[in-house]
Amino acid sequence: MRLTVSFLVSTLLSICLLGCISAGTVVAAEKSSVVEGFTSLIIDGTNCGLLHSVSGGASCVEVVDNMNSTGHFPQRYPRGSYCEPISLQIGIDIPKALRAWLADACNAVDTRKNGSVLYCDRTSRAVSELQFTKALVTEVSLPACDKRSNEPGYLSISIEPLSTLLTPASPNSPPAPARTGEWRSCNFALEIEGIDCSKVLSIEPITVKRQGGDLSNAVGGQAPTPITIVCSNLSVVLANSSVPAWKEWIARCAANKQPSKNGSLVFFDSAHKEITRIKLYGLIPCKLGPAPNADGVGLAVAEISCDRAVFGAESTTGPASGTMGGGASSTTTRPIGR
């Protein structure tokens, strides 16, 4: 009897052990099928840096219902193709070529680029790439800035390509750049003409977005939609000690005694060396009041209207017709070809 019990116990232990080994093998196999790596952005043959994230870029076919079909099962048919926008996040320290492309977008200059998103494994071997043609930058968002935080921040860029194609990586793909230190949200400075900004603690993300320019509206001689570059307001949290100067600024603007001001948002590295500068035009304070309790006690929040936010690099062809510095409108009536 004792031998029988011992045999049963040993048999059960062996089965459990084999089951654990098999499960571990399956888990290991599942993990090995996931390839770790990174992505980088290539513009006109130049590798512009590693991406923090990337999404979109699928080739799509629009399928619509046939309104003339009869019966219980309405027919559908394809009506043209299009590409999803590509959303990218990249570090603040970008090369000159990408900086100039973003400057063109902020200046309503129609600069279309060819390029790809390169997918590499952890040994830096290029595996695949998402090629795109005639892409246009349609939106740029700056990262949030906060003196009280050490979190990394990234530029968010949206581009609209004319076409995309996912292919195996070319053996001649440009090499990936060396990894650089991440920009931290505390390393910034706001500069506004004649205004003390030393007590500014944080700035919400600023977004520059392109609207209009669609030729699909130009039917029967109708003019195409004009291009408009829209910049979001600045939401600034500052210490109460600097409120009097800001209050005087808002009072003078309300009384039409002072035109709009210009300024800059400057990003630094950990050694306080300037990385990039965003030029701000047409700044007008439109609200000043106490900050929400979540931001802290003894703080104020100011909302500032901004006509334009432009990367410090010169655009490739200069501002578009109808755009000027110093608070002028950034609207142009030039159509954009698709």
Residue 82, pLDDT > 50, answer yes
- Structure confidence at residue 322 as a pLDDT band (50, 70, 90): very low
Backbone angles phi, psi at 151, to 5 degrees: -75, 145
pTM: 0.76
Q: What is the largest CA-CA distance in the chain?
A: 105
Contact present, 188 and 236 (Cβ < 8 Å): no
Segment 52-67, tens digit of pLDDT: 999 999 988 888 887 7
Taking 50 as the threshold, does the pLDDT of residue 41 lie above it? yes
Q: What is the pLDDT of residue 152?
A: 95
> Is pLDDT above 60 for 279?
yes
CA distance 316 to 52: 26
Distance CA 149, CA 127 (A): 36
- Mention every residue, 6+ apart, whose C-beta is less than 8 A from residue 272: 187
Nearest to 85 by CA among 141, 164, 199: 164
Query: Is the model's pLDDT at 104 over the cut of 70?
Result: yes
Taking CA atoms, 297 is separated from 116, 145, 186, 291, in Å, by 47, 19, 19, 8
pLDDT in tens, 157-181: 999 999 999 999 877 776 666 666 7
- Quick one: pLDDT band at residue 151, thresholds 50, 70, 90? very high
Of 73-87, 155-169, 322-336, give the lowest mean pLDDT range. 322-336
pLDDT for the residue 229: 92
- pLDDT interval class at 292 (50, 70, 90): confident
Whether residue 182 has pLDDT greater than 60: yes
- Examine the pLDDT at 144 and tell me if it is beyond 70: yes
pLDDT reported for residue 110: 85
Task: Evaluate if residue 328 carries a pLDDT over 60.
Answer: no
The model's confidence at residue 217, banded by pLDDT at 50, 70 and 90, is very low
Confidence of residue 29 (pLDDT cuts 50, 70, 90): very low
Write out pLDDT tens, residues 307-321: 999 986 444 444 443
Looking only at the bridges linking them, the beta strands covering 274-290 and 308-311 are: antiparallel
Higher pLDDT, 300 or 294: 300
CA separation for the pair 286, 266 (Å, rounded): 22
